[in-house]
Amino acid sequence: MNTLVDILSWICLTAGGAFCVVGALGLVRMPDFYTRMHAASVTETAGVGLMLLGMMLQAGVSLVTVKLVMIALLILFTSPTATHALAKAALARGLKPLLASGEDPSKR
Query: What percent of the chain is modeled with pLDDT above 70?
Result: 92
Q: Are 50 and 16 in contact (CB under 8 A)?
A: yes
- Domain count across the chain: 1
On whether residue 67 sits in a domain, the answer given is yes
Q: Which pLDDT band, with edges at 50, 70 and 90, does 8 fall under?
A: very high
Residue 60 has pLDDT above 70, yes or no: yes
**Residues 31-43 pLDDT 10s:** 888 989 988 888 8
What's the CA gap between 79 and 67, in Å, rounded?
18
pTM: 0.80
Give the per-residue pLDDT at 65. Answer: 95
Q: Which domain holds residue 56?
A: 2-94
Decide if 23 is inside a domain: yes
Q: Is the dihedral of CA 28, 29, 33, 37 positive or negative?
A: negative
Does 51 score more than 80 pLDDT? yes
Residue 104 inside a domain? The answer is no
Res. 63 pLDDT band, cuts 50 70 90 = very high
Closest CA to 98 of 52, 38, 32, 42: 32
On the 0-12 / 13-18 / 19+ scale of CB atoms within 10 A, 18 is: middle
Residue 71 lies in a domain: yes
